[in-house]
């Protein structure tokens, strides 16, 4: 016991050390050569050689087309634990990528730059699908980030277990009641959990909010000019009752419930889970990280309880708040060059798809388009031609998702809401007979101070 | 003058890496900062927000519960193991290695290994318990057993270092005292009670203080094994500090809670040292 020490203290010391440097640690704008210097995250690791080289080639091409800009690429990825210290210490890239759950909090704390005017000068700006811009659009209507990848949550299911349970893998559940029936069949026939729900690291609350939307509810609403929790109003309770019925009546969810979405992905790839809520992009980790069988990976649109809705996941490119006007301009141009062009230029889309395919990166997964159908349609055709994923397995998803409304993250204190819902989920899934309404009221009491703080 | 010069490097290192960050933490706890704009002084607002958060008292209760359990199980166990190993005539070196082995394993690796042990469906413990008709146990899945499960892992992971310290202290006990006790017909328990424990008193007291301070700062186990669940039953003070700082980006509240924890531990240490001043020397 004596050796108990926390990394947190070290983090605190590091943060304290770098904070004073923050005031003078802005972005280096230009050197003696007068060029605008920017750093960009997203360089692929050496394990993805084709993509890495393609990225570096794009940097060169961009610099050639924009001779006043000098780019330094880095391999760094979003890490909540190091973000603050890197921002304060002036180490954060000019352009960096964040998960879709983050922009609203970063906007609120003014930790990313507003890029509305720079964005308006991009090609095809009038064709943007507003659903793709929504996650990084502030409550002031201004744009703070641009999409780099976007997927809508769906139902991921094990086609092999469906077959073993006597279910048709080409006709997955469309409603939560059908999910319950299928989960019971899988559990009864195979002894494995038919359905799994994450409950930790805020991933439980995140997926529960998506399920709530399909019950016609919200987890946060605006009332008298401020945002308040809305998950006690009924739909979330019905979603939890549905989960409780599977857990305790049907016994179709197993007994291991203190897990996050990543844990579930791992177990799913190992063939130990029948169904779960996740984005189709988990196919990438399924085959490359967890060595899962591509054939067993099935995806359907998020089932419904009366409302056709889903929540989006993915990443956005955002700009360092300390960037100068010239750097912001160059940064947005780079985001367009590298991340947006393949979504409106068929030649670039084909080149990117071929590089991905040769690096064995999945190509052809259904993604949320960034632009209107007229622009996105030809791109999707190009990607299909170069697809290396089992396209038939994604058909049920594509058929269902087209009709769904895409919801966005709650604008205020989303992570606090998700954390509170995590706790309610844990109560429902680990304690038989938990009073669901009472658990939601407890969650509301817990999250209320956080919402008030966030709106001070 | 010469003494001052010799002290200077140490003072500089402590100043830069310990005292200045501590002072900055106190300053930050009185400010609002987004790490971009200049920090704004907010007085005691961060502390007020902290006391308005219902999770604060949950984490205090949980942390104290962890400390109590860790003292009940983790404090006497290393002493017992050290005494037993010191009494072993053969293979003492092997036992020392076996006891210390968990300390060599990187903490996160060890905790992840225990995560698998505790898995209710495929974990080692439940497979063994079920095989002998005693399982399965909920381990981390129940509010009643989650914290004791964390204490069990923490005791396993950290006891080795304490055992080595006790063994070193035991080797300094004069053998004449044991010989005299044996001549007087003292049993092994009487020798332990009347010779070993009094001779180790100073080490035992300082180890108790270090363990209290260390266990109040428990973080890795709940962070990796439970994320504070189920139902916040393993949400500790440091995990809440982590959430404030790195999930919510609120460094003001995070440092406010850090300062309060440090102050509470400093006060506890002062009271403890004052109370035990006479015990450790007489």
Q: Would A13 be classed as within a structural domain?
A: no
Q: For residue A373, with 0-12 CB atoms within 10 Å meaning exposed, 13-18 middle and 19 or more buried, which class applies?
A: exposed
Q: Would A352 be classed as within a structural domain?
A: yes
Chain A stretch 397-426, residues whose beta carbon is closer than 8 A to a beta carbon of chain B: 413, 415-416, 419, 422-423, 426
Among residues A342, A364, A385, the one where a domain terminates is: A385
Give A399 to chain B, closest Cα distance, Å: 35
Give A170 to chain B, closest Cα distance, Å: 29
Domain count, chain A: 2
Bond prior to B230 in cis (omega within 30° of 0):
yes
Neighbour tally for A358: CB within 10 Å: 16
pLDDT digits (tens, 9 = 90+) for A271-314: 999 999 999 999 988 998 899 999 999 999 999 999 999 998 88
- What is the distance of C-alpha B256 from the center of its chain? 21
Asked whether residue A320 falls in the same domain as residue A305, the answer is: no
Contact yes or no for B211 and A321 at CB 8 A? no
Got the DSSP string for A333-375?
HHHIIIIIGGGT-HHHHHHHHHHHHHTT---------SB-HHH
Give B201 to chain A, closest Cα distance, Å: 17
Note the ipTM here: 0.87
Asked whether residue A198 falls in the same domain as residue A241, the answer is: yes
% of residues, chain A, pLDDT over 90: 73
Residue with tokens 């079920």: B130
Give B184 to chain A, closest Cα distance, Å: 36
Asked whether residue A201 falls in the same domain as residue A254, the answer is: yes
Asked whether residue A223 falls in the same domain as residue A285, the answer is: yes
* Nearest-angstrom CA–CA distance, B158 and B81: 13
Q: What is the span of the domain harbouring residue A247?
A: 154-312+392-454
Q: A333: which residues sit within 8 A by CB, 6+ positions away?
A: A62, A66, A69, A118, A122
Nearest residue in A to B73, CA atom: A1
Q: Would A407 be classed as within a structural domain?
A: yes
Asked whether residue A257 falls in the same domain as residue A160, the answer is: yes
Find residue A143's DSSP bridge partners: A137
Q: Residue B282 pLDDT more than 70?
A: no
Q: For residue A401, with 0-12 CB atoms within 10 Å meaning exposed, 13-18 middle and 19 or more buried, which class applies?
A: buried
Tokens of A349: 């889309």
Domain B46-276 is in which class?
A: mainly alpha
* Nearest-angstrom CA–CA distance, A102 and B265: 35
Chain A stretch 303-342, residues whose beta carbon is closer than 8 A to a beta carbon of chain B: 321-322
Contact yes or no for B248 and A416 at CB 8 A? yes
Q: Which pLDDT score is estimated for A27?
A: 59
Q: Which pLDDT score is estimated for A20?
A: 39
Neighbour tally for A191: CB within 10 Å: 9
Asked if A80 is an interface residue toward chain B (Cβ–Cβ < 8 A), one would say: yes
Strand order in the sheet with A154-158: A195-196, A275-278, A154-158, A297-301
Asked whether residue A370 falls in the same domain as residue A396, the answer is: no
Asked whether residue A317 falls in the same domain as residue A296, the answer is: no
Of B35, B158, B217, the CB nearest to A22: B35
- What is the distance of C-alpha A155 from the center of its chain? 15
Asked whether residue A178 falls in the same domain as residue A269, the answer is: yes
Give B177 to chain A, closest Cα distance, Å: 29
Contact yes or no for B49 and A4 at CB 8 A? no
Of A26-30, A356-360, B127-131, B219-223, the range with the lowest mean pLDDT is A26-30
pLDDT digits (tens, 9 = 90+) for B5-53: 999 999 999 999 999 999 999 999 999 988 888 899 999 999 999 999 9
Q: Would A357 be classed as within a structural domain?
A: yes
Q: For residue B22, with 0-12 CB atoms within 10 Å meaning exposed, 13-18 middle and 19 or more buried, which class applies?
A: middle
Q: Would A10 be classed as within a structural domain?
A: no
Asked whether residue A176 falls in the same domain as residue A231, the answer is: yes
Q: Residue B188 pLDDT more than 90?
A: no
Distances (CA, A) of A196 to A178, A263, A301: 15, 10, 17
Q: Would A8 be classed as within a structural domain?
A: no
Of B53, B165, B230, the CB nearest to A258: B230
Among residues A370, A385, A400, the one where a domain terminates is: A385
Asked whether residue A337 falls in the same domain as residue A352, the answer is: yes
Q: Residue A111 pLDDT more than 50?
A: yes
Q: Residue A95 pLDDT more than 90?
A: yes
pLDDT digits (tens, 9 = 90+) for A317-354: 999 999 999 999 999 999 999 999 999 999 999 998 99
Q: Residue A367 pLDDT more than 90?
A: no
Q: Would A6 be classed as within a structural domain?
A: no
Report which of residues A360 and A74 the model is more confident about.
A74
Asked whether residue A218 falls in the same domain as residue A295, the answer is: yes
Asked whether residue A245 falls in the same domain as residue A343, the answer is: no
pTM of the model: 0.87
Q: B105: which residues sit within 8 A by CB, 6+ positions away?
A: B113, B157
Q: Which pLDDT score is estimated for A30?
A: 55
Asked if B36 is an interface residue toward chain A (Cβ–Cβ < 8 A), one would say: yes
pLDDT digits (tens, 9 = 90+) for B219-273: 999 999 999 999 999 999 999 999 999 888 899 999 999 999 999 999 999 998 8
* Nearest-angstrom CA–CA distance, B33 and A84: 11
Over residues A7-14, mean pLDDT: 41
Q: Which pLDDT score is estimated for B192?
A: 87
Q: Which of the four pLDDT bands, split at 50, 70 and 90, describes residue A54? A: confident
CA nearest neighbour of A363 among A338, A337, A394, A334: A394
* Nearest-angstrom CA–CA distance, A215 and A309: 9
Q: Name the 3-class secondary structure at A40.
A: strand
Got the DSSP string for B81-102?
HHHHHHH-SSSHHHHHHHHHHH
Asked if B145 is an interface residue toward chain A (Cβ–Cβ < 8 A), one would say: no
Q: Residue A418 pLDDT more than 60?
A: yes
CA nearest neighbour of B21 among A17, A87, A89, A19: A17
What CATH number did the domain enclosing A177 receive? 3.40.190.10
Distances (CA, A) of B73 to A5, A114, A359, B162: 19, 55, 52, 13
A366 neighbors A401 (Cβ within 8 angstroms): yes
Nearest residue in B to A6, CA atom: B219
Q: Which of the four pLDDT bands, split at 50, 70 and 90, describes residue A9? A: very low
| Cα radius of gyration rounded to whole Å, chain A | 23
Among residues A368, A385, A402, the one where a domain terminates is: A385
Contact yes or no for A453 and B250 at CB 8 A? yes
Q: Would A7 be classed as within a structural domain?
A: no
């Amino acid at each position: 016991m004596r050796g108990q020490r926390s990394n947190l203290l070290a983090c605190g010391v590091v943060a304290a050390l770098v904070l004073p440097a923050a005031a003078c640690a802005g972005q280096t704008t230009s050197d003696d050569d007068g060029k605008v210097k920017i750093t960009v995250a997203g360089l692929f690791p050496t394990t993805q050689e084709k993509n890495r080289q393609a990225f570096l080639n794009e940097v060169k091409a961009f610099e050639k087309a924009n001779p006043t800009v000098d780019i330094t690429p880095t391999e760094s990825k979003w890490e909540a634990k190091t973000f603050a210290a890197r921002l304060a210490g002036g180490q954060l890239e000019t352009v960096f990528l964040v998960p879709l759950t983050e922009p609203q909090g970063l906007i609120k704390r003014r930790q990313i730059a507003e890029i509305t005017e720079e964005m308006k000068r991009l090609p095809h700006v009038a064709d943007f699908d507003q659903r793709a811009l929504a996650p990084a659009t502030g409550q002031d209507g201004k744009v703070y980030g641009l999409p780099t990848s976007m997927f809508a949550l769906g139902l991921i299911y094990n086609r092999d277990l469906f077959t073993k349970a006597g279910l048709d893998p080409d006709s997955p559940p469309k409603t939560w009641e059908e999910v319950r029936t299928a989960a019971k069949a899988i559990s009864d026939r195979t002894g494995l959990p038919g359905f799994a729900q994450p409950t930790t690291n805020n991933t439980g609350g995140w997926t529960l909010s998506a399920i709530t939307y399909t019950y016609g509810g919200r987890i946060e609403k605006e009332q008298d000019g401020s945002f308040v929790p809305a998950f006690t109003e009924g739909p979330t309770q019905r979603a939890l009752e549905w989960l409780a019925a599977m857990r305790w009546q049907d016994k179709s969810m197993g007994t291991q419930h203190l897990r996050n979405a990543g844990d579930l992905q791992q177990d799913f790839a190992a063939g130990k889970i029948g169904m779960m809520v996740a984005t189709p992009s988990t196919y990438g980790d399924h085959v490359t990280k967890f060595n899962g069988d591509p054939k067993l990976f099935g995806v359907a649109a998020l089932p419904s309880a009366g409302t056709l809705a889903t929540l989006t996941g993915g990443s956005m490119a955002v700009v360092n708040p300390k960037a100068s006007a010239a750097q912001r301009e160059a940064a947005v141009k780079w985001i367009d060059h590298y991340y947006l062009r393949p979504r409106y230029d068929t030649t670039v889309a084909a080149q990117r798809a071929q590089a991905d395919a040769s690096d064995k990166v999945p190509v052809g997964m259904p993604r949320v388009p960034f632009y209107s159908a007229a622009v996105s349609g030809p791109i999707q055709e190009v990607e299909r031609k170069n697809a290396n994923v089992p396209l038939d397995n994604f058909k049920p998803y594509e058929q269902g998702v087209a009709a769904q409304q895409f919801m966005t993250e709650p604008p205020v204190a989303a992570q606090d809401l998700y954390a509170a819902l995590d706790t309610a989920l844990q109560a429902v899934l680990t304690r038989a007979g938990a009073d669901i309404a009472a658990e939601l009221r407890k969650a509301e009491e817990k999250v209320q101070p956080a919402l008030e703080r966030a709106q001070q | 003058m010469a003494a001052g010069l010799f002290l200077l490097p140490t003072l500089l290192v402590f100043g830069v890496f310990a005292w200045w960050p501590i002072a900055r933490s106190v300053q930050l706890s009185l400010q609002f900062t987004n790490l971009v704009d200049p920090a704004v002084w907010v007085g005691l607002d961060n502390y007020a927000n902290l006391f308005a958060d219902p999770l604060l008292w949950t984490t205090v209760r949980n942390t104290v519960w962890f400390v109590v359990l860790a003292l009940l199980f983790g404090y006497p166990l290393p002493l017992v193991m050290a005494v037993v190993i010191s009494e072993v005539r053969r293979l003492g070196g092997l036992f020392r290695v076996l006891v210390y082995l968990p300390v060599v394993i990187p903490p996160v690796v060890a905790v992840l290994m225990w995560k698998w042990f505790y898995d209710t469906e495929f974990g080692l413990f439940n497979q063994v318990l079920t095989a002998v008709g005693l399982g399965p146990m909920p381990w981390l899945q129940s509010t009643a057993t989650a914290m004791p499960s964390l204490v069990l892992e923490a005791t396993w992971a950290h006891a080795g270092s304490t055992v080595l310290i006790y063994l070193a202290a035991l080797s300094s006990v004069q053998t004449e005292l044991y010989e005299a006790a044996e001549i007087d017909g003292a049993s092994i328990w009487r020798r332990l009670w009347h010779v070993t424990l009094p001779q180790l008193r100073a080490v035992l007291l300082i180890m108790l203080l270090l363990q209290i301070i260390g266990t109040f700062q428990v973080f890795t186990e709940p962070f990796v094994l439970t994320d504070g669940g189920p139902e916040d039953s393993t949400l500790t003070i440091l995990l809440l500090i982590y959430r404030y700082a790195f999930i919510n980006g609120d460094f003001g509240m995070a440092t406010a809670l850090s300062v309060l924890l440090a102050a509470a531990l400093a006060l506890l240490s002062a009271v403890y040292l004052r109370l035990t001043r006479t015990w450790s020397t007489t």
